[in-house]
Amino acid sequence: MKRRNFIRVAGGGLVVAAGGAFAAPNLDPMPEEAVTGWKGPPPGEQDPRRRAITWAMLAPNPHNMQPWLVDLRQPGEITLHVDRTRLLPQTDPFGRQVMIGQGTFLELLVLALAAEGYRAEVAMFPEGESPANLIDDHPVARVSLIRDPAARPDPLFRQIPRRRSTKTEYAARPVKAEHLAALMVSHRTTSNLLLAFATGKEQLDALRTIATQGSEMEMQTPRTHKESIDRLRIGASEIRAHRDGISLSGPMIWALRQLGTLTPEKALTPGTTAWESGRDYVMKGYASAVAFGWIASPGNARAAQVAAGRAYVRLNLKATELGVAMHPHSQTLQEFPEMAQLHRAIHDATGVPEGHTLQMFFRLGYAPVPGPTPRRPPQSIVVS
Ligand SMILES: Cc1cc2nc3c(=O)[nH]c(=O)nc-3n(C[C@H](O)[C@H](O)[C@H](O)COP(=O)(O)O)c2cc1C
């Protein structure tokens, strides 16, 4: 069996492609309780705020660290804070991605509250923005619930449990022009951030090369690669214990663990099967990219980062509705010093105007829908 048949890594995280040699489907499956949130709020849950939080936790977020705290002590309000124990200091030194992940959460919260019959009034940074270079405990947003008989669920709400970050190889066929057009129209109804797509061979090749180099750079820089490996959850028992991070489960992972081929130490070490096949997988993902897209903001204020998160998750939901897969690439958007040259290069190659910051960069295409990723129990993020 070739090594690429048994373990694959995507953008700092690993996912599994089980080869035919191992057909035992019940070894080390994804623990049911880790993905129960994808079924929606538990049937007995009556509190609209807690019901909405269950949906909001399904938001895409960096390394699936779920860096959210919600304060419910004030009736009729939800105050959102960053959970500062769940940051990514090496790859996200200014907390930019963490802030995008606040935006994705906030948008799903607002969609879910509308589905509960509430208009959500969102006050951004009610006690001031956290400074650019640090995440403090100022609230990100205070959301007031206003009963509104006219509130109607946004059609995108229905896509929340079906949405995924699809990290596998994509089909070779191009993304349909009508799908890109529908994504653009949907984006423009709620966001004035720059959204653009690349589908032409020349630009795709240039972006692919830069993205590939960025992933390589992150993997070759020990402290940034370690940050990802520290957040790997290998096998059902680790997944059950954490319900966050990048999770690896299934018969192939079980087998590799038994063989001692897949350990955090090996995944950290260039030259091992775990490390090399990880890199092979990233490269295959980029090689299969038939379209890239990006969201950029003028400047890089905290509010713009949150707005980018809100826009990104709406795009991901719309893509889900259309059957289009999306996969973020963050490496070359990251602000650690070794990445500076590639950070400049991707800004140049996308052609974003001077002074704009690329907030999200992703590939788009068609691929089988993967299973859901774990989420922690909603009560673990609630301050009450
Ligand atoms: C700001 C941000 C950056 C991300 N960067 C990457 C990335 O570089 N590579 C990757 O594979 N996934 C990336 N993701 C996707 C997350 O890994 C994914 O959302 C998380 O694991 C949960 O999985 P889900 O989106 O399928 O629910 C990013 C998501 C966000 C919101």
pLDDT 10s digits, 93-104: 999 999 999 999
Cα of 59 vs centre of ligand 1, distance in Å, is 9
Q: Report whether 233 contacts 239 (CB < 8 A).
A: yes
The structure tokens 């070359």 sit at 332
pLDDT at residue 315 greater than cutoff 70: yes
pLDDT of residue 22: 42
Q: Is 222 helix (H, G, I), strand (E, B) or coil?
A: helix
Q: Is 233 helix (H, G, I), strand (E, B) or coil?
A: strand
Mean pLDDT for the chain? 92
Q: What is the DSSP letter of 120?
A: E
Cα of 88 vs centre of ligand 1, distance in Å, is 13
Q: What is the pTM of this model?
A: 0.94
For residues 12 and 103, give the distance between their C-alpha atoms in angstroms, rounded to a whole number: 22
Burial class (CB in 10 A: 0-12, 13-18, 19+), 74: exposed
Pocket flag, ligand 1, residue 329 (CB < 6 Å):
yes
User: Mutate which of 102, 283, 330, 361 to test ligand 1's pocket (most atoms within 8 Å of Cβ)?
Assistant: 330
pLDDT of residue 14: 44
Cα of 362 vs centre of ligand 1, distance in Å, is 10
Cα of 12 vs centre of ligand 1, distance in Å, is 10
Q: Which ligand 1 atom lies nearest to the CA of residue 63? A: 17
Pocket flag, ligand 1, residue 67 (CB < 6 Å):
no
Helices 201-220 and 222-229: crossing angle in degrees, nearest 10, is 90
Pocket flag, ligand 1, residue 13 (CB < 6 Å):
yes
User: Mutate which of 61, 162, 216, 231 to test ligand 1's pocket (most atoms within 8 Å of Cβ)?
Assistant: 61
Of 13, 112, 125, 8, the C-alpha closest to 62 is 13
From 128-132, 179-183, 194-198, 308-312, the region with the lowest mean pLDDT? 128-132
